[in-house]
Amino acid sequence: MRVVQKFGGSSVADAASIKRVAQRIVDTKARGAEVVVVISAMGDTTDELMDLALQVSPQPRPRELDMLLTAGERMSAALLAMAINDLAFEARSFTGSQAGVITTGTHGDARIIDITPGRIETALEDGDIVIVAGFQGVSQTSKDITTLGRGASDTTAVALAAALGADYCEIYSDVDGVFTADPRIVPGATRIPEISYEEMLEMAAQGAKILHLRCVEYARRENVPVHVRSSFSTKPGTWVKDIEVKEGSGMEQPLITGVAHDRSESKITVVGVPDRVGAAAEVFSAVADAGVNIDMIVQNQSIANDNTAITFTLPGGDKVKALDALHGARERIGFAEILYDDAIGKVSVIGVGMRSHPGVSATFFRALAETGINIQMISTSEIRISVVVGADDVDAAVRAAHTAFGLDSVSGEAVVYAGTGR
């Protein structure tokens, strides 16, 4: 049996928690498993290092930022190995680079290209517990240290589990698994015992922070079963895996599996776009050339004046890039004006059950209407319906949807054990 266990920052926030996690790892090892641990930086260390960098320099070079941020995971990895050693077990810590995590060269958002886990295999053969610093690797070309994006220790863990042929990957955090909504907003949210990769991908993409999006993509591609659970309890969590629903198996699909929300996006409306061939292509080429990834798009059919409005959402942090690009292209495209709004949020209902059931949109929109919430934009996929609402309406919209689809727990409240949710 070979297991990869990942512990998030709130599980190793201080010395006492590091010792507690060490005990938990040792228990797994004592049951006879080969154990590889991926660790995040302690508590809010990454945010604090980032704040510090910005105090020293308003625009730190990405290479130096990665050198700085990776130190957080290196600290917790070494401390954890020490704590395990004191429990009379052998443990060795490795940086991402030492562990063979080879990445692209994009600092702050590198992708894993390959994993060459030779040193890990050797350490496992020696009977050691292996501790790997998460969220980091080494660039194949420049040999510089890279980071994989915020929250990416999850991705390190799943990638290692795949490369090492682990039986499964356990992701330990501060809640008991994946819930039908964020328990911080919906106290009656319920734990989802099992969820398909497909639904988990949508949940993560639509703002559920419990698992890093690329971690789920990786797990699905490599077929790694992921057990999301709490390091503060021994309760079973959520298994993210390949779930095959057999026709006629009598298995009841819930209509909606979960409700996700995302406050990080903002909205741009380009007003008075001429109604001619190629106008939309020009608007979005300008935005794409600025390196901005957009999400939802709405364009109305032009009714009067031979022009229309195009509205789209984008990451809030890309405001300046996107607005500059559009203003620069204004003459060429010939639109009238640009409106920007960051006081918005996106609320999504997700479930494979909606494939075969009509009326899901109607139920969702009626629940919002009865709560007095105005819908600004709508988008759908085969297993998801998302709406954009005002930022102040997000919590109420999540609760309304959760209740409308019968997801409220009857058996008590979800527990959030730790973490600042920062």
Could you tell me which residues are annotated as the binding site for substrate? 46, 73
Bridge partners (DSSP) listed for residue 308: 273
Applying CB under 5 A, the site for Mg ion has a residue count of 2
* Choices 40-48, 54-62, 253-261, 408-416; region in contact with ligand ASP by CB under 6 A: 40-48
- 72 binds ligand ASP, rule: CB under 6 A: yes
- 239 binds ligand ASP, rule: CB under 6 A: no
Q: Which of residues 103-142 bind ligand ASP (CB under 6 A)?
A: 134-135
- 151 binds Mg ion, rule: CB under 5 A: yes
Neighbours of 306 (CB within 10 A): 10
The C-alpha angle with vertex 142 and arms to 140 and 147, in degrees rounded to 5, equals: 70
Q: Which does 95 bind (CB under 5 to 8 A by kind): Mg ion, ligand ASP, none?
A: none
- 100 binds ligand ASP, rule: CB under 6 A: no
Measured in whole angstroms, the distance separating CA 189 from the mean position of its chain's CA atoms is: 19
Residues 77-96 as b/e (b if ≥16 CB within 10 A, e otherwise) read: bebbbebbeebebebbbbbb
- 94 binds ligand ASP, rule: CB under 6 A: no
Q: Which residues are annotated as a binding site?
A: 6-9, 46, 73, 184
3-class DSSP assignment, residue 168: strand
Going residue by residue from 103 to 142, which x/- string records binding to Mg ion, judged by CB under 5 A? ----------------------------------------
- 207 binds Mg ion, rule: CB under 5 A: no
- 172 binds ligand ASP, rule: CB under 6 A: no
- 43 binds ligand ASP, rule: CB under 6 A: no
Instruction: Read off φ and ψ for residue 345, nearest 5 degrees.
Output: -150, 160
Q: Which of residues 357-396 bind ligand ASP (CB under 6 A)?
A: none
**Closer CB to Mg ion, 8 or 100, in the complex:** 8
Q: Which does 43 bind (CB under 5 to 8 A by kind): Mg ion, ligand ASP, none?
A: none
- 153 binds ligand ASP, rule: CB under 6 A: yes
DSSP states of 342-370 as a string? -SEEEEEEE-GGGGG-TTHHHHHHHHHHH
CB of 229 to Mg ion, least distance (A): 13
Among 9, 100, 117, 188, binds ligand ASP (CB under 6 A): 9
CA distances from 199 to 240, 260, 394 (A): 9, 11, 21
**Closer CB to ligand ASP, 78 or 298, in the complex:** 78
CB of 88 to Mg ion, least distance (A): 31
**Closer CB to ligand ASP, 112 or 255, in the complex:** 112
3-class DSSP assignment, residue 391: helix
What is the spatial distance between Cα 92 and Cα 85, in angstroms, rounded to a whole number?
Answer: 9
Tell me the two tokens of residue 190: 């319920």
Tokens 């969702």 belong to 364
Torsion 313-317-318-320 (CA) sign: positive
What is the spatial distance between Cα 358 and Cα 61, in angstroms, rounded to a whole number?
Answer: 51
Q: At what angle do helices 153-163 and 213-222 cross, to 10 degrees?
A: 10
Q: Which does 41 bind (CB under 5 to 8 A by kind): Mg ion, ligand ASP, none?
A: ligand ASP
Interface positions with Mg ion (CB under 5 A): 8, 151
Interface positions with ligand ASP (CB under 6 A): 8-9, 40-41, 46, 72, 134-135, 150-153
